Chains A and B, each alone.
Chain A
């Protein structure tokens, strides 16, 4: 069997293990589904009047606007959960056993990220279903929904790479878990929850340049406007940039781990 086919089998097996692990452990599942759903419900009901503010972009409802933010929050937490799980594997020696096997070391990391991508996809499906159930319309129709799902999945993988790099570099689940508050910092400093023009300084200026704003804009566009391409393209570029950075970070952390053993 060719090397590539073997690597793909490894990625598939480890990706499935990662997804099963998340669904079996409430500690990993809750941040991905329960907390973002809870915050979506509370923010939509509590701050729903925001759509009446002068300058708020035309949307069908605040729920429709907030769906992209909830997806973004969920996929970022999925990336963090993936990093925690990888660090736990390192702590327990499971990763060392995989590294000792005759398989590509990068396939081991990619397997974890494939699992994160599946969780990002599941999160997108979940929030689209919740949105439709509570009356939000998807302006871009089925193609728009598919674009939003694809962007969520790719973004989960790219952002999950950063969690994986930290796990590989430190080998400590507590340190990856410590990134949890930072996720909310970068989320609040993006347009995930509110239009940039209506935010207050300094969040307003930071949100303008935050790459996550571009990602969330691309996920939001097919939901609130329909497909016209600009925001989706910017999101794809932002995801590619984040992915490239996380790839370099992971490769470097992996090399360091192989060289020093920890």
Chain B
């Protein structure tokens, strides 16, 4: 690699690190900002567990612990909301003219996008950890170190998918008014899976949607450690689904980024 190319990569990495650092500073300076992102999935987890826990009595349910069945969905939901919040923050930056200043810098646009998406992936660990701690306190099974690492990897990648999708919308609408579209899209993607019950126990059209929704593979991969043993056969469809979704939404967001200011 030539010296110029090496310097270029170093500059790109420094830009990504600076954008991640900016997101970190937002959390440090306004700690209250993290509370809604943590509260929402935690409340949903505790609420749904309190309400639907007896569903495990249905014949065909794969576990007797609804908390264990539900917790992977809740941490992915937290990751989805964190990703959607990245889109809302980007829309705010567009409205306030901050993105224009970033675009005027020599940093490539994909680098700017990567910085925002990476910060979403890292930030998603906060609600995930909070929900996991609450879940273990109410009796969710310990997934083992490997199961936990797989769950965290799924969380980071899901946040990246949600952040790309929401950023694409933010770049298209250039307004925080698009926030409900970002949140509803992410919520539908994550809950339109085997979120509440195994596929065999679901009903009607939702069963058909869950069958073809790539996110179902991700939920199943994140869930396996909480329900039993871990096998590669359950992991790779989730990894493949995430890679495919990320490719599509990253292309969507990058297209929006390239069109900005033109």
Cα distance, A44 to B57, chains bound together (Å): 18
| Contact A53–B54 (Cβ < 8 Å) | yes
B52 at the interface (CB under 8 A from A): yes
Is the beta-carbon distance between B206 and A42 smaller than 8 angstroms?
A: yes
Tally of contact residues, A, Cβ under 8 A: 40
Docked-complex contact B177 and A27, CB < 8 angstroms = yes
Answer whether residue B3 sits at the interface, using C-beta atoms and an 8 A cutoff.
no
- In the complex, the answer to whether A178 meets B179 with C-beta atoms within 8 Å is no
B31 within 8 A of partner (CB): no
State whether A48 touches B191 (Cβ < 8 A).
no
- How many of chain B's residues touch chain A, expressed as a range? 35 or more
- Tell me whether A181 and B39 are in contact (CB under 8 A): yes
**Binary contact track B133-153/A, C-beta < 8 Å → 1, others 0:** 000000000000000000000
Q: How far is the CA of A25 from the CA of B191 in the complex (A)?
A: 25
Is B48's CB under 8 angstroms from A188's CB? yes
Q: Which residues of B contact A203 (CB under 8 A)?
A: 47, 50-51
Q: Smallest CB–CB gap between B33 and chain A, Å?
A: 10
| Contacts of A45-86 to chain B: CB distance below 8 A | 45-50, 52-54, 62
A46-B195, A53-B58, A200-B53 given as contacts; is B40 within 8 A of A181 (CB)?
yes
Chain B residues contacting A180 (CB-CB under 8 Å) are: 36
Distance in angstroms from B173 CB to nearest chain A CB is 10
Contact status of A30 and B180, CB under 8 A, knowing A178-B36, A200-B54? yes
Query: Shortest CB–CB separation between residue B36 and chain A, in angstroms?
Result: 7
Q: Knowing A27-B180, A30-B184 touch, does A48 contact B50 (C-beta < 8 A)?
A: no
Instruction: Given A27-B177, A189-B50, verify A49-B43 contact (CB < 8 Å).
Output: no
Q: Which residue of chain B has its CB nearest to the CB of A194?
A: B51
Q: A38-B187, A42-B206 are in contact. Are A49 and B177 (CB under 8 A)?
A: no
Residue from B51, B54, B178, B187 with most neighbouring chain A CB atoms (10 Å): B51
Cβ of B261 under 8 Å from chain A: no
Tell yes or no: A41 within 8 A of B by CB.
yes
Specify which of B43, B54, B178 is in contact with A181 (CB 8 Å cutoff). B43
B53-96 interface bits toward A, Cβ cutoff 8 Å, 1 = contact, 0 = none: 11101100000000000000000000000000000000000000
Separation of A194 and B50 alpha carbons in the complex (Å) = 10
- B193-221 vs A, CB cutoff 8 Å, 1 = contact: the mask equals 01111000111111101000000000000
A26/B51 in contact, CB under 8 A: no
Query: Are the CB atoms of A45 and B204 closer together than 8 Å?
Result: yes
Tell me whether B52 and A42 are in contact (CB under 8 A).
no
Partner of A41, one of B52, B180, B206: B206
Between-chain CB contacts (< 8 Å), 12 pairs: A30-B184, A44-B206, A47-B52, A47-B196, A50-B55, A53-B54, A53-B57, A54-B57, A184-B43, A187-B47, A188-B46, A188-B51
Q: Which 7 residue pairs of A and B lie closest in terms of their CB atoms, listed nearest first? A: A45-B206, A188-B47, A30-B180, A46-B196, A203-B50, A48-B203, A181-B39
